[in-house]
A and B are shown apart, each in its own frame.
Chain A
Amino acid sequence: MADLALPDLSTPRSQVLLAIADDALISGHRASHWTGVAPSLEEDLAFSTIAQAGINHADLWYQLVLDGTVDDVSAGVDALGLGREPEAYRHAIVCERPPRDFAYTLARHWVLDRFEAIRLASLAASTDPEVAALSVKLLHEHRYHLEHAQLWFDRLVRGGDEAADRLRDGFTQVLPEALGLFEPVEDEDQAVADGLLPVGHARLRERWLESAAPLLEQAGLADLVPAVDAAVPDEAAFGRRGCHTDDFVVDVWPEMTRLYREHPGARW
Protein backbone atom coordinates (compact mmCIF):
# COMPACT_ATOMS: atom_id res chain seq x y z
CA MET A 1 0.00 0.00 0.00
CA ALA A 2 2.95 2.27 -0.75
CA ASP A 3 0.76 4.88 -2.41
CA LEU A 4 -1.49 5.26 0.63
CA ALA A 5 -0.50 8.44 2.43
CA LEU A 6 -1.46 7.68 6.02
CA PRO A 7 -1.68 10.56 8.49
CA ASP A 8 1.05 11.19 11.06
CA LEU A 9 0.63 8.38 13.57
CA SER A 10 2.93 9.93 16.14
CA THR A 11 0.59 12.76 17.19
CA PRO A 12 -1.06 12.46 20.62
CA ARG A 13 -4.44 12.20 18.89
CA SER A 14 -3.30 9.29 16.73
CA GLN A 15 -1.66 7.56 19.67
CA VAL A 16 -4.78 7.77 21.84
CA LEU A 17 -7.07 6.57 19.06
CA LEU A 18 -4.71 3.76 18.07
CA ALA A 19 -4.64 2.55 21.69
CA ILE A 20 -8.44 2.37 21.72
CA ALA A 21 -8.66 0.78 18.27
CA ASP A 22 -5.88 -1.74 18.88
CA ASP A 23 -7.37 -2.82 22.23
CA ALA A 24 -10.62 -3.54 20.36
CA LEU A 25 -9.00 -5.31 17.39
CA ILE A 26 -6.68 -7.56 19.36
CA SER A 27 -9.21 -8.53 22.03
CA GLY A 28 -11.77 -9.10 19.24
CA HIS A 29 -9.29 -11.28 17.39
CA ARG A 30 -8.70 -13.34 20.53
CA ALA A 31 -12.46 -13.61 21.19
CA SER A 32 -12.94 -15.08 17.71
CA HIS A 33 -10.91 -18.07 18.84
CA TRP A 34 -14.07 -19.44 20.46
CA THR A 35 -16.14 -19.35 17.28
CA GLY A 36 -16.94 -22.98 16.51
CA VAL A 37 -15.20 -24.40 19.58
CA ALA A 38 -16.72 -22.69 22.65
CA PRO A 39 -17.86 -24.82 25.61
CA SER A 40 -21.53 -24.35 24.70
CA LEU A 41 -23.40 -23.32 21.56
CA GLU A 42 -24.81 -20.28 23.38
CA GLU A 43 -21.32 -19.08 24.33
CA ASP A 44 -20.11 -19.81 20.82
CA LEU A 45 -22.69 -17.32 19.58
CA ALA A 46 -21.89 -14.83 22.35
CA PHE A 47 -18.13 -14.77 21.78
CA SER A 48 -18.63 -14.52 18.02
CA THR A 49 -20.69 -11.41 18.66
CA ILE A 50 -18.03 -10.03 21.00
CA ALA A 51 -15.39 -10.70 18.33
CA GLN A 52 -17.39 -8.92 15.65
CA ALA A 53 -17.98 -5.96 17.93
CA GLY A 54 -14.24 -5.70 18.62
CA ILE A 55 -13.31 -5.85 14.94
CA ASN A 56 -16.05 -3.41 14.02
CA HIS A 57 -15.19 -0.93 16.77
CA ALA A 58 -11.53 -1.05 15.75
CA ASP A 59 -12.58 -0.25 12.17
CA LEU A 60 -14.56 2.79 13.34
CA TRP A 61 -11.70 4.10 15.50
CA TYR A 62 -9.20 3.59 12.67
CA GLN A 63 -11.47 5.70 10.47
CA LEU A 64 -11.10 8.52 13.01
CA VAL A 65 -7.33 8.06 12.96
CA LEU A 66 -7.42 8.49 9.18
CA ASP A 67 -9.33 11.72 9.68
CA GLY A 68 -10.19 12.08 6.00
CA THR A 69 -6.57 11.91 4.83
CA VAL A 70 -7.08 8.99 2.41
CA ASP A 71 -9.64 8.62 -0.36
CA ASP A 72 -9.98 4.88 0.01
CA VAL A 73 -11.11 4.54 3.61
CA SER A 74 -11.25 0.71 3.61
CA ALA A 75 -7.70 0.48 2.31
CA GLY A 76 -6.63 3.00 4.96
CA VAL A 77 -8.36 1.04 7.71
CA ASP A 78 -6.66 -2.18 6.60
CA ALA A 79 -3.29 -0.45 6.38
CA LEU A 80 -3.74 0.51 10.04
CA GLY A 81 -5.33 -2.73 11.22
CA LEU A 82 -3.19 -5.19 9.28
CA GLY A 83 -0.33 -3.23 7.73
CA ARG A 84 1.70 -2.01 10.70
CA GLU A 85 4.76 -3.64 12.21
CA PRO A 86 4.17 -5.27 15.63
CA GLU A 87 5.90 -2.46 17.53
CA ALA A 88 3.45 0.09 16.08
CA TYR A 89 0.44 -1.52 17.83
CA ARG A 90 -0.67 0.28 20.99
CA HIS A 91 -2.95 -2.23 22.72
CA ALA A 92 -2.29 -3.30 26.30
CA ILE A 93 -0.52 -6.65 26.60
CA VAL A 94 -3.42 -8.23 28.50
CA CYS A 95 -5.45 -8.04 25.24
CA GLU A 96 -2.97 -10.19 23.34
CA ARG A 97 -2.88 -13.08 25.82
CA PRO A 98 -4.31 -16.33 24.44
CA PRO A 99 -7.85 -17.31 25.52
CA ARG A 100 -6.50 -20.07 27.80
CA ASP A 101 -9.10 -21.68 30.02
CA PHE A 102 -12.67 -20.45 29.48
CA ALA A 103 -12.62 -19.02 33.03
CA TYR A 104 -9.58 -16.91 32.09
CA THR A 105 -11.46 -15.73 29.01
CA LEU A 106 -14.46 -14.79 31.16
CA ALA A 107 -12.33 -13.01 33.77
CA ARG A 108 -10.58 -11.01 31.07
CA HIS A 109 -13.88 -10.27 29.34
CA TRP A 110 -15.23 -8.92 32.63
CA VAL A 111 -12.15 -6.76 33.25
CA LEU A 112 -11.87 -5.44 29.68
CA ASP A 113 -15.52 -4.60 29.31
CA ARG A 114 -15.69 -2.69 32.57
CA PHE A 115 -12.55 -0.81 31.53
CA GLU A 116 -13.84 -0.06 28.04
CA ALA A 117 -17.20 1.14 29.30
CA ILE A 118 -15.48 3.54 31.72
CA ARG A 119 -13.11 4.82 29.05
CA LEU A 120 -15.96 5.33 26.57
CA ALA A 121 -18.06 7.13 29.18
CA SER A 122 -15.21 9.58 29.78
CA LEU A 123 -14.57 9.99 26.04
CA ALA A 124 -18.18 11.05 25.56
CA ALA A 125 -17.00 14.43 26.87
CA SER A 126 -14.12 14.67 24.39
CA THR A 127 -13.60 18.04 22.75
CA ASP A 128 -13.25 16.17 19.44
CA PRO A 129 -16.90 15.90 18.36
CA GLU A 130 -16.32 12.76 16.29
CA VAL A 131 -14.63 11.01 19.19
CA ALA A 132 -17.44 12.04 21.54
CA ALA A 133 -20.17 10.91 19.14
CA LEU A 134 -18.57 7.52 18.45
CA SER A 135 -18.03 6.90 22.18
CA VAL A 136 -21.70 7.52 22.94
CA LYS A 137 -22.72 5.17 20.17
CA LEU A 138 -20.40 2.33 21.24
CA LEU A 139 -21.32 2.72 24.89
CA HIS A 140 -24.83 1.50 24.04
CA GLU A 141 -23.44 -1.75 22.67
CA HIS A 142 -21.18 -2.23 25.66
CA ARG A 143 -24.17 -2.50 27.94
CA TYR A 144 -24.88 -5.98 26.55
CA HIS A 145 -21.28 -7.06 26.92
CA LEU A 146 -21.27 -5.90 30.53
CA GLU A 147 -24.46 -7.83 31.26
CA HIS A 148 -23.05 -10.95 29.66
CA ALA A 149 -19.76 -10.64 31.56
CA GLN A 150 -21.55 -10.10 34.87
CA LEU A 151 -23.90 -13.02 34.27
CA TRP A 152 -20.94 -15.38 33.93
CA PHE A 153 -19.12 -13.78 36.83
CA ASP A 154 -22.12 -14.54 39.07
CA ARG A 155 -22.59 -17.99 37.60
CA LEU A 156 -19.00 -18.97 38.28
CA VAL A 157 -18.93 -17.47 41.76
CA ARG A 158 -21.97 -19.57 42.69
CA GLY A 159 -21.25 -22.51 40.38
CA GLY A 160 -19.53 -24.76 42.92
CA ASP A 161 -15.94 -25.18 43.99
CA GLU A 162 -14.40 -26.01 40.65
CA ALA A 163 -15.97 -23.08 38.82
CA ALA A 164 -15.14 -20.64 41.61
CA ASP A 165 -11.55 -21.91 41.79
CA ARG A 166 -11.12 -21.55 38.07
CA LEU A 167 -12.53 -18.04 38.15
CA ARG A 168 -10.09 -17.21 40.94
CA ASP A 169 -7.21 -18.58 38.85
CA GLY A 170 -8.41 -16.53 35.89
CA PHE A 171 -8.51 -13.32 37.92
CA THR A 172 -5.17 -14.13 39.53
CA GLN A 173 -3.64 -14.10 36.05
CA VAL A 174 -5.62 -11.24 34.55
CA LEU A 175 -5.84 -8.60 37.29
CA PRO A 176 -2.14 -7.71 37.67
CA GLU A 177 -1.70 -7.65 33.89
CA ALA A 178 -4.83 -5.56 33.47
CA LEU A 179 -2.96 -2.65 35.06
CA GLY A 180 -1.19 -2.32 31.71
CA LEU A 181 -4.49 -1.01 30.31
CA PHE A 182 -3.99 2.17 32.33
CA GLU A 183 -0.55 3.10 31.10
CA PRO A 184 -0.47 6.37 29.21
CA VAL A 185 0.24 6.55 25.50
CA GLU A 186 3.09 8.72 24.30
CA ASP A 187 2.43 12.44 24.93
CA GLU A 188 -0.86 11.60 26.60
CA ASP A 189 -0.60 14.75 28.75
CA GLN A 190 -1.01 16.76 25.58
CA ALA A 191 -4.15 14.82 24.57
CA VAL A 192 -5.58 15.40 28.05
CA ALA A 193 -4.72 19.11 27.96
CA ASP A 194 -6.39 19.41 24.54
CA GLY A 195 -9.52 17.75 25.91
CA LEU A 196 -9.37 14.99 23.28
CA LEU A 197 -8.93 12.50 26.10
CA PRO A 198 -10.85 14.13 28.96
CA VAL A 199 -9.62 11.62 31.55
CA GLY A 200 -6.11 10.21 31.28
CA HIS A 201 -5.50 6.47 31.56
CA ALA A 202 -4.00 6.81 35.06
CA ARG A 203 -7.20 8.42 36.37
CA LEU A 204 -9.31 5.84 34.54
CA ARG A 205 -7.54 3.27 36.67
CA GLU A 206 -9.01 4.85 39.82
CA ARG A 207 -12.51 4.80 38.35
CA TRP A 208 -12.13 1.23 37.21
CA LEU A 209 -10.92 0.08 40.62
CA GLU A 210 -13.81 1.92 42.25
CA SER A 211 -16.28 0.01 40.11
CA ALA A 212 -14.58 -3.40 40.09
CA ALA A 213 -13.29 -3.73 43.65
CA PRO A 214 -16.66 -4.02 45.48
CA LEU A 215 -17.83 -6.78 43.12
CA LEU A 216 -14.57 -8.69 43.51
CA GLU A 217 -14.77 -8.29 47.28
CA GLN A 218 -18.35 -9.56 47.41
CA ALA A 219 -17.26 -12.58 45.40
CA GLY A 220 -14.60 -13.46 47.95
CA LEU A 221 -11.78 -12.23 45.72
CA ALA A 222 -10.77 -9.22 47.83
CA ASP A 223 -7.19 -10.48 48.07
CA LEU A 224 -6.85 -10.17 44.30
CA VAL A 225 -7.90 -6.52 44.06
CA PRO A 226 -4.82 -4.61 42.90
CA ALA A 227 -3.46 -2.02 45.34
CA VAL A 228 -4.03 1.60 44.37
CA ASP A 229 -0.32 2.07 43.74
CA ALA A 230 0.50 -1.43 42.43
CA ALA A 231 3.00 -1.40 39.57
CA VAL A 232 2.31 -3.03 36.22
CA PRO A 233 4.22 -6.33 36.17
CA ASP A 234 7.23 -6.19 33.84
CA GLU A 235 5.85 -8.87 31.53
CA ALA A 236 2.69 -6.82 30.88
CA ALA A 237 4.19 -3.33 30.75
CA PHE A 238 4.58 -0.79 27.95
CA GLY A 239 2.07 -2.24 25.48
CA ARG A 240 0.88 1.36 24.95
CA ARG A 241 4.44 2.18 23.80
CA GLY A 242 4.63 -0.75 21.39
CA CYS A 243 6.29 -3.40 23.55
CA HIS A 244 4.61 -6.74 22.95
CA THR A 245 5.16 -10.31 24.00
CA ASP A 246 5.54 -13.43 21.84
CA ASP A 247 1.79 -13.92 22.27
CA PHE A 248 1.43 -11.03 19.84
CA VAL A 249 4.69 -10.88 17.91
CA VAL A 250 4.97 -14.61 17.22
CA ASP A 251 1.36 -15.78 17.58
CA VAL A 252 -1.29 -13.16 16.70
CA TRP A 253 0.50 -10.72 14.41
CA PRO A 254 2.01 -13.10 11.81
CA GLU A 255 -1.23 -15.05 11.35
CA MET A 256 -3.46 -11.98 11.36
CA THR A 257 -1.44 -9.96 8.86
CA ARG A 258 0.27 -12.53 6.59
CA LEU A 259 -2.28 -12.76 3.81
CA TYR A 260 -2.67 -8.97 3.75
CA ARG A 261 1.10 -8.44 3.63
CA GLU A 262 1.74 -11.13 1.00
CA HIS A 263 -0.38 -9.35 -1.61
CA PRO A 264 0.40 -5.64 -1.44
CA GLY A 265 -2.32 -3.53 -2.99
CA ALA A 266 -4.62 -6.50 -3.72
CA ARG A 267 -8.39 -6.12 -3.37
CA TRP A 268 -10.22 -8.82 -1.45
Chain B
Amino acid sequence: MSATSTSDPVREEEFLAALDAGHRVEPFEWMPDTYRTLNIKFIEMHANSEIMGALPEREWIARAPTLKRKRSLAAKVQDEVGHAHLIYRVAESLGRPRRAMYEDLIAGTGRFHNVFHYPTYTWGDVACIGFLVDGAAIVTQRALLDTSYAPYARVMKRVVAEESLHYRHGEDIMLALAAGTDEQFEMLQEAVNRWWEPIMHFFGTAVPAEEDPMIRWGVKGRSNEASRQEWLNTYVPKMWDMGIDTPDPKLAYDPDTGWWDYTEPDWDRLAQIVKGEPTEATASRLYWRQLLHRHHAWVHDIVLGPEPATAA
Protein backbone atom coordinates (compact mmCIF):
# COMPACT_ATOMS: atom_id res chain seq x y z
CA MET B 1 0.00 0.00 0.00
CA SER B 2 1.52 3.32 -1.06
CA ALA B 3 1.95 6.31 1.20
CA THR B 4 -0.78 8.20 -0.65
CA SER B 5 -3.39 5.45 -0.52
CA THR B 6 -6.88 6.76 0.15
CA SER B 7 -8.16 3.51 1.70
CA ASP B 8 -5.89 2.92 4.65
CA PRO B 9 -8.09 1.71 7.56
CA VAL B 10 -5.71 2.98 10.22
CA ARG B 11 -5.45 6.44 8.76
CA GLU B 12 -9.22 6.41 8.25
CA GLU B 13 -9.74 5.84 11.97
CA GLU B 14 -7.32 8.66 12.75
CA PHE B 15 -9.12 10.90 10.28
CA LEU B 16 -12.51 10.20 11.85
CA ALA B 17 -11.10 10.82 15.31
CA ALA B 18 -9.71 14.15 14.13
CA LEU B 19 -13.11 15.09 12.68
CA ASP B 20 -14.76 14.20 15.98
CA ALA B 21 -12.23 16.41 17.73
CA GLY B 22 -13.29 19.33 15.53
CA HIS B 23 -10.59 19.21 12.85
CA ARG B 24 -11.48 21.02 9.62
CA VAL B 25 -10.21 19.46 6.41
CA GLU B 26 -8.40 21.50 3.75
CA PRO B 27 -8.24 20.37 0.10
CA PHE B 28 -4.50 19.62 0.20
CA GLU B 29 -4.81 17.22 3.15
CA TRP B 30 -5.02 13.48 2.97
CA MET B 31 -8.62 12.28 3.05
CA PRO B 32 -10.28 8.87 2.70
CA ASP B 33 -12.16 8.08 -0.50
CA THR B 34 -15.43 7.79 1.37
CA TYR B 35 -15.04 11.31 2.74
CA ARG B 36 -14.23 12.75 -0.67
CA THR B 37 -17.06 10.89 -2.40
CA LEU B 38 -19.69 11.81 0.18
CA ASN B 39 -18.66 15.44 0.10
CA ILE B 40 -18.69 15.62 -3.68
CA LYS B 41 -22.12 14.00 -3.80
CA PHE B 42 -23.55 16.38 -1.22
CA ILE B 43 -21.86 19.57 -2.48
CA GLU B 44 -22.63 18.86 -6.13
CA MET B 45 -26.29 18.33 -5.29
CA HIS B 46 -26.27 21.58 -3.33
CA ALA B 47 -24.78 23.54 -6.24
CA ASN B 48 -27.15 21.88 -8.72
CA SER B 49 -30.06 22.86 -6.49
CA GLU B 50 -28.99 26.50 -6.57
CA ILE B 51 -29.08 26.41 -10.38
CA MET B 52 -32.37 24.53 -10.63
CA GLY B 53 -33.79 26.69 -7.85
CA ALA B 54 -33.17 29.74 -10.00
CA LEU B 55 -35.41 28.45 -12.77
CA PRO B 56 -38.89 28.44 -11.15
CA GLU B 57 -38.40 31.97 -9.76
CA ARG B 58 -36.76 33.21 -12.92
CA GLU B 59 -40.06 32.65 -14.74
CA TRP B 60 -41.56 35.48 -12.66
CA ILE B 61 -38.97 38.21 -13.25
CA ALA B 62 -40.71 38.97 -16.54
CA ARG B 63 -44.14 38.98 -14.85
CA ALA B 64 -43.43 40.72 -11.54
CA PRO B 65 -46.29 43.05 -10.55
CA THR B 66 -44.16 46.11 -9.71
CA LEU B 67 -40.78 47.43 -10.81
CA LYS B 68 -39.49 47.10 -7.26
CA ARG B 69 -40.40 43.40 -7.18
CA LYS B 70 -39.01 42.88 -10.67
CA ARG B 71 -35.66 44.27 -9.59
CA SER B 72 -35.49 42.49 -6.25
CA LEU B 73 -36.51 39.15 -7.74
CA ALA B 74 -33.83 39.51 -10.44
CA ALA B 75 -31.29 40.26 -7.69
CA LYS B 76 -32.45 37.33 -5.58
CA VAL B 77 -32.28 34.82 -8.43
CA GLN B 78 -28.87 36.22 -9.33
CA ASP B 79 -27.72 35.46 -5.79
CA GLU B 80 -28.79 31.83 -6.22
CA VAL B 81 -26.77 31.49 -9.40
CA GLY B 82 -23.89 33.16 -7.56
CA HIS B 83 -24.19 30.52 -4.83
CA ALA B 84 -23.97 27.79 -7.46
CA HIS B 85 -20.86 29.50 -8.79
CA LEU B 86 -19.24 29.46 -5.34
CA ILE B 87 -20.35 25.97 -4.39
CA TYR B 88 -19.26 24.37 -7.66
CA ARG B 89 -15.80 25.70 -6.89
CA VAL B 90 -15.85 23.86 -3.59
CA ALA B 91 -16.71 20.63 -5.39
CA GLU B 92 -13.93 21.39 -7.87
CA SER B 93 -11.44 21.56 -5.00
CA LEU B 94 -12.34 17.91 -4.35
CA GLY B 95 -11.52 16.99 -7.94
CA ARG B 96 -14.84 17.15 -9.74
CA PRO B 97 -14.68 19.65 -12.65
CA ARG B 98 -17.41 22.25 -12.91
CA ARG B 99 -18.06 21.59 -16.55
CA ALA B 100 -18.70 17.90 -15.89
CA MET B 101 -21.13 18.69 -13.06
CA TYR B 102 -22.89 21.28 -15.14
CA GLU B 103 -23.20 19.01 -18.15
CA ASP B 104 -24.52 16.14 -16.02
CA LEU B 105 -27.11 18.48 -14.56
CA ILE B 106 -28.26 19.65 -17.95
CA ALA B 107 -28.28 16.11 -19.33
CA GLY B 108 -30.72 15.24 -16.54
CA THR B 109 -28.39 12.88 -14.63
CA GLY B 110 -27.34 15.34 -11.89
CA ARG B 111 -29.42 15.22 -8.71
CA PHE B 112 -31.03 18.25 -7.05
CA HIS B 113 -33.51 18.99 -4.29
CA ASN B 114 -37.12 17.88 -4.62
CA VAL B 115 -38.59 21.36 -4.14
CA PHE B 116 -37.19 22.51 -7.47
CA HIS B 117 -39.07 19.91 -9.49
CA TYR B 118 -42.42 21.70 -9.20
CA PRO B 119 -44.21 24.14 -11.50
CA THR B 120 -45.23 27.66 -10.48
CA TYR B 121 -48.72 28.99 -11.17
CA THR B 122 -49.12 32.38 -9.47
CA TRP B 123 -47.25 35.12 -7.63
CA GLY B 124 -48.28 33.16 -4.52
CA ASP B 125 -45.72 30.55 -5.53
CA VAL B 126 -43.06 33.25 -5.62
CA ALA B 127 -44.01 34.16 -2.04
CA CYS B 128 -43.87 30.53 -0.90
CA ILE B 129 -40.55 29.81 -2.62
CA GLY B 130 -39.02 33.04 -1.29
CA PHE B 131 -40.20 32.59 2.27
CA LEU B 132 -41.05 28.97 3.06
CA VAL B 133 -38.81 27.02 0.68
CA ASP B 134 -35.90 29.40 1.16
CA GLY B 135 -36.65 29.28 4.87
CA ALA B 136 -36.21 25.52 4.77
CA ALA B 137 -32.97 25.97 2.83
CA ILE B 138 -31.73 28.46 5.41
CA VAL B 139 -32.37 25.97 8.22
CA THR B 140 -30.35 23.26 6.51
CA GLN B 141 -27.66 25.64 5.25
CA ARG B 142 -27.09 27.18 8.63
CA ALA B 143 -26.37 23.70 9.90
CA LEU B 144 -23.59 23.54 7.29
CA LEU B 145 -21.62 26.40 8.85
CA ASP B 146 -20.02 23.66 10.97
CA THR B 147 -19.37 21.26 8.13
CA SER B 148 -15.97 19.58 8.34
CA TYR B 149 -14.71 20.45 4.85
CA ALA B 150 -13.15 23.86 5.41
CA PRO B 151 -13.69 25.44 1.93
CA TYR B 152 -17.37 24.48 2.11
CA ALA B 153 -17.76 26.03 5.57
CA ARG B 154 -16.12 29.25 4.36
CA VAL B 155 -18.42 29.54 1.35
CA MET B 156 -21.47 28.76 3.48
CA LYS B 157 -20.74 31.79 5.66
CA ARG B 158 -21.36 34.05 2.72
CA VAL B 159 -24.28 32.01 1.37
CA VAL B 160 -26.06 32.04 4.71
CA ALA B 161 -25.55 35.81 5.03
CA GLU B 162 -27.17 36.33 1.62
CA GLU B 163 -29.94 33.90 2.41
CA SER B 164 -30.95 35.99 5.37
CA LEU B 165 -31.59 38.84 2.92
CA HIS B 166 -33.70 36.44 0.88
CA TYR B 167 -35.65 35.67 4.00
CA ARG B 168 -36.59 39.38 4.25
CA HIS B 169 -37.38 39.49 0.55
CA GLY B 170 -39.67 36.44 0.85
CA GLU B 171 -41.30 37.62 4.04
CA ASP B 172 -42.05 41.00 2.50
CA ILE B 173 -43.76 39.43 -0.54
CA MET B 174 -45.71 37.07 1.70
CA LEU B 175 -46.87 39.83 4.08
CA ALA B 176 -48.00 41.98 1.14
CA LEU B 177 -50.15 39.14 -0.20
CA ALA B 178 -51.49 38.22 3.24
CA ALA B 179 -52.51 41.85 3.83
CA GLY B 180 -53.74 42.36 0.27
CA THR B 181 -57.06 41.88 -1.52
CA ASP B 182 -59.15 38.72 -1.08
CA GLU B 183 -57.84 37.49 -4.40
CA GLN B 184 -54.26 38.00 -3.29
CA PHE B 185 -54.85 36.18 -0.01
CA GLU B 186 -56.45 33.27 -1.85
CA MET B 187 -53.50 33.18 -4.24
CA LEU B 188 -51.23 32.86 -1.22
CA GLN B 189 -53.29 30.22 0.60
CA GLU B 190 -53.50 28.03 -2.50
CA ALA B 191 -49.76 28.26 -2.95
CA VAL B 192 -49.12 27.30 0.69
CA ASN B 193 -51.35 24.26 0.18
CA ARG B 194 -49.29 23.28 -2.87
CA TRP B 195 -45.92 23.75 -1.19
CA TRP B 196 -46.66 22.09 2.15
CA GLU B 197 -45.82 18.52 1.21
CA PRO B 198 -42.74 19.39 -0.90
CA ILE B 199 -41.33 21.29 2.09
CA MET B 200 -42.03 18.44 4.49
CA HIS B 201 -40.27 16.16 2.00
CA PHE B 202 -37.37 18.58 1.64
CA PHE B 203 -35.78 17.65 4.97
CA GLY B 204 -35.78 13.94 4.14
CA THR B 205 -36.89 10.95 6.19
CA ALA B 206 -36.32 10.91 9.94
CA VAL B 207 -33.18 8.76 9.66
CA PRO B 208 -31.47 8.64 13.07
CA ALA B 209 -28.29 10.74 13.27
CA GLU B 210 -26.15 7.71 14.13
CA GLU B 211 -27.27 5.93 10.96
CA ASP B 212 -26.66 8.87 8.62
CA PRO B 213 -23.26 8.58 6.90
CA MET B 214 -23.36 12.29 6.06
CA ILE B 215 -23.36 12.99 9.79
CA ARG B 216 -20.77 10.32 10.65
CA TRP B 217 -18.38 11.83 8.11
CA GLY B 218 -18.92 15.36 9.27
CA VAL B 219 -20.69 16.64 6.15
CA LYS B 220 -23.92 17.44 7.96
CA GLY B 221 -24.02 18.39 11.59
CA ARG B 222 -27.67 17.73 12.29
CA SER B 223 -30.35 15.13 11.64
CA ASN B 224 -33.11 15.58 9.08
CA GLU B 225 -35.78 15.57 11.75
CA ALA B 226 -34.03 18.23 13.85
CA SER B 227 -33.98 20.51 10.80
CA ARG B 228 -37.64 19.82 9.99
CA GLN B 229 -38.61 20.61 13.59
CA GLU B 230 -36.68 23.88 13.53
CA TRP B 231 -38.49 24.92 10.36
CA LEU B 232 -41.91 24.03 11.78
CA ASN B 233 -41.10 25.89 14.94
CA THR B 234 -40.03 29.02 13.07
CA TYR B 235 -42.43 29.19 10.15
CA VAL B 236 -45.72 27.68 11.28
CA PRO B 237 -46.38 30.38 13.92
CA LYS B 238 -45.53 33.05 11.33
CA MET B 239 -48.03 31.59 8.87
CA TRP B 240 -50.69 31.39 11.58
CA ASP B 241 -50.01 35.03 12.46
CA MET B 242 -50.67 35.96 8.85
CA GLY B 243 -54.01 34.12 8.99
CA ILE B 244 -52.85 31.32 6.71
CA ASP B 245 -54.24 27.81 7.26
CA THR B 246 -51.58 25.13 7.39
CA PRO B 247 -52.97 22.23 5.36
CA ASP B 248 -52.08 19.41 7.80
CA PRO B 249 -54.96 18.84 10.30
CA LYS B 250 -52.68 16.84 12.58
CA LEU B 251 -50.13 19.63 12.88
CA ALA B 252 -49.73 20.64 16.54
CA TYR B 253 -46.97 21.59 18.93
CA ASP B 254 -46.52 19.16 21.81
CA PRO B 255 -45.36 21.16 24.84
CA ASP B 256 -44.31 17.97 26.65
CA THR B 257 -41.82 16.84 24.01
CA GLY B 258 -41.10 20.31 22.61
CA TRP B 259 -41.63 18.87 19.14
CA TRP B 260 -44.26 19.25 16.45
CA ASP B 261 -46.58 16.39 15.51
CA TYR B 262 -47.48 16.19 11.85
CA THR B 263 -48.91 13.82 9.28
CA GLU B 264 -46.13 11.74 7.79
CA PRO B 265 -45.74 12.84 4.15
CA ASP B 266 -45.91 10.27 1.38
CA TRP B 267 -42.26 9.20 1.07
CA ASP B 268 -42.90 7.12 -2.03
CA ARG B 269 -43.97 10.29 -3.74
CA LEU B 270 -40.67 11.94 -2.77
CA ALA B 271 -38.71 9.03 -4.21
CA GLN B 272 -40.76 9.30 -7.37
CA ILE B 273 -40.05 13.04 -7.63
CA VAL B 274 -36.29 12.89 -7.14
CA LYS B 275 -35.46 9.50 -8.59
CA GLY B 276 -38.27 8.71 -11.00
CA GLU B 277 -39.13 10.15 -14.38
CA PRO B 278 -38.69 13.94 -14.40
CA THR B 279 -41.81 15.94 -13.59
CA GLU B 280 -43.34 17.90 -16.42
CA ALA B 281 -41.87 21.11 -14.98
CA THR B 282 -38.37 19.63 -14.75
CA ALA B 283 -38.60 18.04 -18.20
CA SER B 284 -39.58 21.34 -19.75
CA ARG B 285 -36.99 23.41 -17.83
CA LEU B 286 -34.26 20.94 -18.72
CA TYR B 287 -35.41 20.81 -22.32
CA TRP B 288 -34.96 24.58 -22.69
CA ARG B 289 -31.76 24.49 -20.73
CA GLN B 290 -30.38 21.76 -23.01
CA LEU B 291 -31.46 23.60 -26.12
CA LEU B 292 -29.79 26.84 -24.97
CA HIS B 293 -26.73 24.91 -23.81
CA ARG B 294 -26.25 23.12 -27.13
CA HIS B 295 -26.85 26.30 -29.01
CA HIS B 296 -24.08 27.99 -27.04
CA ALA B 297 -21.37 25.35 -27.20
CA TRP B 298 -19.28 27.96 -29.03
CA VAL B 299 -19.43 30.24 -25.96
CA HIS B 300 -18.37 27.41 -23.64
CA ASP B 301 -15.39 26.81 -25.88
CA ILE B 302 -14.35 30.45 -25.60
CA VAL B 303 -14.77 30.56 -21.83
CA LEU B 304 -13.64 27.09 -20.78
CA GLY B 305 -11.70 25.62 -23.68
CA PRO B 306 -13.02 23.09 -26.17
CA GLU B 307 -13.25 19.85 -24.14
CA PRO B 308 -14.63 19.05 -20.71
CA ALA B 309 -11.79 18.09 -18.41
CA THR B 310 -11.77 14.50 -17.24
CA ALA B 311 -13.20 13.81 -13.82
CA ALA B 312 -10.70 13.00 -11.11
Contact = CB atoms under 8 A, between A and B. Distances in A.
Nearest to A51: B74
Given A51-B74, A52-B71, A29 B85 contact: no
A42 B66 contact: no
B81 A268 contact: no
A44 B83 CA distance: 12
A156 B84 CA distance: 26
A166 B299 CA distance: 10
A45 B86 CA distance: 12
Interface string A131-155: 0000000000000000000000001
B21 interface: no
Contact of A51 (B61, B177, B303): B61
Contacts of A266: 65, 180-181, 183-184
Interface string A81-94: 11000000000000
A55 B215 CA distance: 44
A37 B88 contact: no
A32 B74 contact: yes
B74 A260 contact: no
Contacts of B85: 41-42, 45
Nearest to B298: A162
B11 interface: no
Interface in B293-307: 293, 295-296, 298-304
A17 interface: no
Contact of A36 (B58, B67, B173, B180): B58
B78 interface: yes
Contacts of B298: 162-163, 166
A159 interface: yes
A40 B81 contact: no
Interface in A69-109: 74, 77-78, 81-82, 101-102
B292 interface: yes
Nearest to A58: B67
Interface in A23-79: 25, 29, 32-33, 35-37, 39-45, 48-49, 51-52, 55-56, 58-59, 62, 74, 77-78
Nearest to B77: A35
Given A35-B78, A52-B74, A102-B299, A260 B65 contact: yes
B244 interface: no
Contact of A59 (B71, B123, B180, B295): B71
B10 interface: no
Interface of B: 51, 54-55, 58, 61-71, 74-75, 77-78, 81-82, 84-85, 88, 123, 173, 176-177, 179-181, 183-184, 288-289, 292-293, 295-296, 298-304
